[in-house]
């Protein structure tokens, strides 16, 4: 049975994350302590104790989620994925799992990416909103209408059938929210974010990230990586490098990625890291798939017992 390992992005964080892993698995503890040394500050304290306000800051959120996912992955030593994908930030975690990117470089890149995105959000304030119950074409159309009337707004995450996140200027997003409600969306909710991620308002983060990506060694991954920008698999390091940068300002085509993984043989999808967001998205996109989550020490133990039995 082909297994796709999935790695979550921003929004999956919670105070107390990774604590049970740290206490139960020496491999996870070593990973978390290594991240503290690389970063030069105790990220572990933010993971375990918050405060929530700090954990929600993009510059902390992104390395926190990355390190939690990598702590889980360290407990699965010897696991060879058939395919991987990561949602936004999670794409970096997926690349480490696929042995295309070193953990040390991953920690530094994710920390820098978070800082640059937070700065971009301060320079050009924006927001995001979830739109539930309209198809992709309807959301794209209302974004075009709202942008013409009020300000920049684009689809940012095509998460699952009937679930799209939009991103852009505050005025543009709020006008698009009004249009979505008027056109019958089941739920429209503004998100608590520090910027308009995956929209052109992140352009000020590109230069710094491009420089950092240019200095990093990327190897050919050991399995196909389904990239957010194209939703297609690749094992080409230079395509990966280019699309990691493009991903800052382009939409995350998550539903398409999951469909393509299923079409390519994935029957089992395993979310590696905090929360269960991706599990829900997979169930809505590929209802017949087997779906698992590996977040806590208890879940990791159960998985290891199952695969070793």
pLDDT of residue 77: 87
CA-based R_g, the chain, Å:
18
Cα 201 to Cα 208: distance, rounded to the nearest angstrom: 15
pLDDT value at position 258?
A: 98
C-alpha span between 139 and 113 (Å, rounded): 28
Give the model's pLDDT for residue 78: 81
| Confidence (pLDDT) at 40 | 96
Nearest-angstrom CA–CA distance, 114 and 248: 11
Give yes or no: 198 in active site: yes
Strand partners, 86: 7
pLDDT at residue 70, as a whole number? 98
pLDDT at 192: 87
- pLDDT confidence of residue 79: 87
Is the CB of residue 196 less than 8 Å from the CB of residue 168?
Answer: yes
Catalytic residue among 88, 167, 169, 199: 88
> What's the confidence (pLDDT) of residue 178?
98
What was the pLDDT predicted at 194? 87
pLDDT at position 244:
98
Low-confidence stretches of the chain (pLDDT < 70) are none
127-132 and 163-168 beta bridge pairing: antiparallel
169 among known catalytic residues: no
188-228 tens-digit pLDDT: 999 988 899 999 999 999 999 999 999 999 999 999 999 99
Sign of the dihedral defined by the CA atoms of residues 277, 55, 38, 22, in that order: negative
Confidence at residue 307, expressed as pLDDT on a 0 to 100 scale: 81
Among residues 134, 256, 103, the alpha carbon closest in space to that of 94 is found at 103
For 56-150, where are the alpha helices, taking DSSP H only?
58-75, 90-97, 103-123, 136-149
Domains of the chain, with CATH numbers?
A: 2-122+201-308 (3.40.366.10), 126-194 (3.30.70.250)
CA distance 144 to 210: 29
Q: Which of 68, 87, 198, 260 is catalytic?
A: 198
């Amino acid at each position: 049975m082909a297994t796709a390992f999935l790695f979550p992005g921003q929004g999956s964080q919670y105070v107390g994350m990774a604590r049970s892993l740290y206490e139960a698995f020496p491999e996870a503890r070593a990973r978390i302590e290594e991240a503290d040394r690389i970063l030069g500050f105790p990220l572990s304290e933010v993971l375990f104790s918050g405060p929530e306000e700090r954990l929600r800051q993009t510059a902390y959120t992104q390395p926190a989620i990355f390190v939690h996912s990598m702590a889980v992955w360290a407990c699965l030593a010897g696991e060879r994925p058939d395919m991987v994908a990561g949602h936004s930030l999670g794409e970096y975690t997926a690349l480490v799992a696929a042995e295309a990117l070193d953990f040390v470089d991953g920690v530094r890149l994710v920390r820098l990416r978070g800082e640059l995105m937070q700065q971009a959000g301060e320079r050009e304030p924006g927001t995001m909103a979830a739109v539930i119950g309209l198809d992709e074409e309807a959301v794209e159309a209302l974004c075009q209408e709202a942008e013409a009337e009020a300000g920049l707004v684009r689809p940012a995450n095509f998460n699952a059938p009937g679930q799209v996140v939009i991103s852009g200027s505050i005025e543009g997003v709020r006008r698009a929210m009004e249009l979505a409600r008027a056109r019958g969306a089941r739920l429209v909710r503004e998100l608590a974010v520090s910027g308009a991620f995956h929209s052109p308002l992140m352009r000020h983060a590109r230069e710094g990230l491009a420089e950092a990506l240019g200095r990093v060694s990327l190897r050919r991954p050991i399995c196909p990586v389904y990239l957010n920008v194209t939703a297609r698999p690749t094992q080409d390091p230079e395509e990966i490098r280019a699309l990691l940068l493009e991903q800052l300002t382009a939409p995350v085509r998550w539903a398409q990625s999951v469909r393509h993984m299923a079409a390519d043989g994935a029957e089992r999808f395993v979310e590696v890291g905090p929360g269960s967001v991706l599990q829900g998205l997979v169930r809505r996109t590929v209802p017949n798939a087997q779906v698992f989550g590996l977040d806590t020490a208890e879940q990791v133990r159960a998985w290891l017992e199952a695969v070793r039995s």
